[in-house]
Amino acid sequence: MAQPLQTIGNRGLRAKIDAVSRIKGFDLLLFFVLMMYKLVLFDRFVKVPNMAMSVDDVFVALGTLALVCFWTLWLPIRGRILALTILNVVLTAIVYSDLVYFRYFQDMISIPVLMQAGQVGALGDSIGSLLSARDIWFFIDWPFIIPLVIYLILRKREYQVQLSFAQPKRLRRAVVRMSLSLIIFATGVTLVFVPINIAKKTWAVGLFVGNWWNMSLYNVTGVIGFHGYDIYRYANEHWLHDNTIPAAAKNEAKQWFEERGNERKQLESDPLFGKYKGKNVIMVQLEAFQNFVIGQKINGQEVTPNMNKLLGESMYFKNFYHQTSQGRTSDADLAANASLQPLMTGSVFIRYAQHEYDSMPSTLKDNGYTTSVFHAYDGGFWNRNAMYQTLKYDTFYSKKSFTIDEPLGWSLGDTSFFRQSVDLMKKQKQPFYSFMITLSSHHPYTLPESYQTLNVGSFKGTIFGDYLEAVHYVDASVGKLVAQLKEEGLWDKSIFLFYGDHDNSIREWEPFETFLGKPLSELDRLNILKQVPFVVHLPNGDHAGVYDQVGGQLDVTPTVLHLLGISTADKYFVGTPLVTEKPLAGKKVVLRDGSYTDGKIFYIPPDDGKPEHSKCYDVASGKLTDVKACEAGVDPARKELVESDLVIQHDLIKEFKKK
């Protein structure tokens, strides 16, 4: 009897499927091909500049896939097909979630992000706009492989026959499968770890210690490798080590912070405490802006003419230090807004964004302020999306909030950045706290020819000359910012302040000496490297002048809150207010490496840890002096670092506040 056409067709298809599925290792091959295609697709879609997939990245991606699937060979054929399909679905979901998250946050999803309530949820309303029709390419295989797998699994009998081979054959097959799985595992390890180790030793030195952006990790590890590393990183920091600390250590930390709080409490009787109650706070963190350029001229031209003018009506702290470590910009931000010492390794923004902190934005928010932070770069950089939520800003205006109408360097030119930021802040409910982080003067400082308006003479074309040009441009941008704040009527309603985040990483001293016209001693060099300007403009130009008392970034928040009359006695801050009628006696600035200065002496700890190799400078003469003159301050400086680290790493602020 003639069979219906359809059945014949089905039979033909079935026969083909069966034939293909009998090709040894076809399922594994298919898994690799499909997943590689999706990983390449992810890379194409995120398209981070200078991070396109290289040959090494392809090896790493293949290696991570091998490590994810090698164990499926232990399973009988049907189990293996099912496991590979589940892996495909799960990995596709992870890769695609990363893509959607990246489109909003310019970052990868990490464990701290998943644990941070609201971070992924923040996508909520925007989710529609984050999906694109071309995303269908990630799922294009599912309508084929899922029914195929169901079909193959249902064809139980066929496979039962395959599996009912005689006992010795079974053993042999098991041995073959185990060996194959071992080979795949070993290949995976090699493909992943060889290129990563080479990168770690060459162009990505320090990436895994002081990493600055999950995308930079992704650039070396790929998507799957990133998540593997992220799990390891989190487990290592939170579970693998015994993180409990003795109650006595906690009490000591609490006591230390309480004593600091008391010092600030004493200053509440100062006449300046609360003198500017209710004023807006507009604060600028300037990229790589060092103090040595302030007031300097080159070939008769002022390097920072606008700032020099502003200094005439502002408080200028000329012995002010940045206190940053490996976390660079993010460390400066932490120091200035949370008044805690950055960690020795890595960035607190990345490592401990899920912990609790007292901060300028959270304190001001509690006091009725609208709080925002502005930075025209990818929001995921330095893990800002997560950290700014932790610090309790109302709004983070990252690159996507700005129109790139003045493309410059990494992103948007500071002039336009300031203009657009003020346009946003002027609409806010007052009083407000607005924190702006600039970017145009970022290493390597090269500006287009048309932006080079300073005659740097013999420095032309050198990194030092480019730095001076960049600083000159930033100065002009600050000048325009001040003019706009005046036009908008915000100038005298606000405390305006700025400081530099860290040094410019130029380590040849010859151009500095030529520029400053004098040889530089070790102490001079240290001061040049560590000092950044700190300028506070108070309404009506009150208290303008040059102040030589020492201070550092950790003092910024206590200073602002002091002027606004908000007590910080019970806050877990390290710093003390700098703008007081009488400077705090015995004030010391402690730098991350354990060096400290009180303005009279400058202590430098020994490189090799041997106390006899430490150095003590007499600041007035610039000469080395007896180490004994510095001794008394060494332990207190170390203690400040230890207690600050303890509080950050063990989330003690949360614990202390519960009690």
Chain residues that interact with ligand GP9, rule: CB under 6 A:
287, 328-329, 375, 377, 381-382, 439, 442
CB 481 within 8 A of CB 543: no
Rounded Cα gap, residues 332 and 354, in angstroms: 19
Residue (325 or 359) nearer to ligand GP9, CB = 325
Residue (31 or 212) nearer to Mn ion, CB = 212
Closest separation in Å from C-beta 440 to ligand GP9: 11
Query: Which of Mn ion, ligand GP9, none has residue 475 at its interface (CB below 5 to 8 Å by kind)?
Result: none
Closest separation in Å from C-beta 335 to ligand GP9: 13
Closest separation in Å from C-beta 49 to ligand GP9: 13
Residue (104 or 498) nearer to Mn ion, CB = 498
Q: Where are the alpha helices (DSSP H) in 316-441?
A: 328-338, 348-351, 360-366, 384-390, 414-425
434 has which bridge partners? Answer: 282, 372
Closest separation in Å from C-beta 469 to Mn ion: 18
Burial bucket for residue 544 (CB in 10 Å: 0-12, 13-18, 19+): middle
To which residue do tokens 């600055």 refer? 212
Other C-beta atoms closer than 10 Å to the C-beta of 334 total 30
Closest separation in Å from C-beta 190 to ligand GP9: 33
CA angle at residue 613 from 607 to 614, to 5 degrees? 80
Rounded Cα gap, residues 420 and 427, in angstroms: 12
Which one of residues 230, 501, 503, 555 is an interface residue with Mn ion (CB under 5 A)?
Answer: 501
| Cα 263 versus chain centre, distance | 32
Distances (CA, A) of 48 to 172, 216, 282, 378, 446: 48, 10, 32, 10, 21
Q: Is the dihedral of CA 608, 611, 612, 614 positive or negative?
A: positive
Closest separation in Å from C-beta 439 to ligand GP9: 6
Does 330 bind Mn ion (CB under 5 A)? Our answer is: no
Residue (160 or 505) nearer to ligand GP9, CB = 505
Residue (500 or 577) nearer to Mn ion, CB = 500
Closest separation in Å from C-beta 410 to ligand GP9: 7
| Cα 626 versus chain centre, distance | 40
HSE of 194, CA atoms in CB hemisphere, 13 A: 12
Closest separation in Å from C-beta 511 to Mn ion: 20
Residue (329 or 440) nearer to Mn ion, CB = 329
Residue (370 or 398) nearer to ligand GP9, CB = 398
Closest separation in Å from C-beta 329 to Mn ion: 3
Residue (285 or 644) nearer to ligand GP9, CB = 285
Instruction: Tell which positions 263-292 bind Mn ion, by CB under 5 A.
Output: 287
Query: Which of Mn ion, ligand GP9, none has residue 381 at its interface (CB below 5 to 8 Å by kind)?
Result: ligand GP9
Residue (358 or 501) nearer to Mn ion, CB = 501
Closest separation in Å from C-beta 412 to ligand GP9: 11
Which residue's beta carbon is nearest to the bound ligand GP9? 328
Rounded Cα gap, residues 119 and 196, in angstroms: 30
Residue (287 or 406) nearer to ligand GP9, CB = 287
Rounded Cα gap, residues 186 and 66, in angstroms: 9
Tokens of 20: 């293909």
Which residue's beta carbon is nearest to the bound Mn ion? 329
Beta-strand relationship, 407-408 and 411-412: antiparallel
- DSSP state for residue 500 in the 8-state scheme: E
Q: Which residues neighbour 253 within 8 Å (Cβ) at sequence distance 6 or greater?
A: 643, 646, 647, 652
Rounded Cα gap, residues 235 and 422, in angstroms: 42
Closest separation in Å from C-beta 442 to ligand GP9: 6
Which one of residues 72, 85, 106, 329 is an interface residue with Mn ion (CB under 5 A)?
Answer: 329
Residue (439 or 604) nearer to ligand GP9, CB = 439
Expressed in angstroms, the distance from the first to the final Cα of the chain is 87
CB 410 within 8 A of CB 50: no
Closest separation in Å from C-beta 328 to Mn ion: 5
Tokens of 540: 């009506």
Query: Which of Mn ion, ligand GP9, none has residue 515 at its interface (CB below 5 to 8 Å by kind)?
Result: none
3-class secondary structure, 71: helix
Residue (381 or 432) nearer to ligand GP9, CB = 381
Choose the binding region for Mn ion from 154-162, 213-221, 425-433, 494-502 (rule: CB under 5 A): 494-502
Q: Is the previous residue joined to 444 through a cis bond, with omega within 30 degrees of 0? A: yes
3-class secondary structure, 286: strand
Other C-beta atoms closer than 10 Å to the C-beta of 317 total 26
Query: Which of ligand GP9, Mn ion, none has residue 377 at its interface (CB below 5 to 8 Å by kind)?
Result: ligand GP9
- Give the CA radius of gyration of the chain: 30
Residues binding Mn ion (CB under 5 A):
287, 328-329, 501
